[in-house]
Amino acid sequence: MNVQQRDVAVVINGRWPNIGRIVVVLRKFDDVDYRHIGYGIEPSWWVRSMGGLLDTTTGPAMEGHAPDIALRKLYKISSDEIEVMRLEKAYEEFNAALAELAVLAREYEAREADMGASKVAPGAMTDAKFHIRDSSAAGSFFAPGSSVAPPSSGRVMVKHR
């Protein structure tokens, strides 16, 4: 076998968009018939991309199966380093989404200001104003008991009337 569970690997063969992708090997997967790409029936792994979406049989996704023969282990990367990379990627995507939301909120406020007083009943959704606040004030933004926590730095959007 070229890889094992929890290894970090690079995709060296297979669908063109996946070649060169860095993946984490999550678990053993069933043997799969890869004759359509010239491999035959091969042992496979369930993998998660550390970068962009993988081109899978069901469409673009962050996870999918890959034949062992198409993966090569990247050495000198510990499981702790893998977890740090995964968390950094998650925070990066979270912050990008928040930045996009901030732009949309500013555009919304500008449109509302241009339109003047709204004829909508008080308390209606269109009556809401959005403001950027420091993430430390975002505790209520996340569900109580949720395993998701706000980033330690950055900005979040909160609805304010």
Query: How far apart are alpha carbons 18 and 67 in whole angstroms?
Result: 12
What pLDDT is attached to residue 105? 92
- 134 pLDDT above the threshold of 60: no
Among 59, 57, 72, residue whose Cα is nearest residue 22: 72
Whether 131 and 108 have beta carbons less than 8 Å apart is answered as no
Does the reported pTM lie above 0.85? no
Per residue in 41-63, pLDDT (tens digit) is 999 999 999 878 999 989 999 99
Give mean pLDDT, residues 121-131. 50
Give mean pLDDT, residues 105-133. 66
The pLDDT confidence band at residue 78, using thresholds 50, 70 and 90, is confident
- 160 pLDDT above the threshold of 70: no
Query: How far apart are alpha carbons 55 and 51 in whole angstroms?
Result: 12
Q: What ranges do the domains of the chain cover?
A: 8-73, 79-160
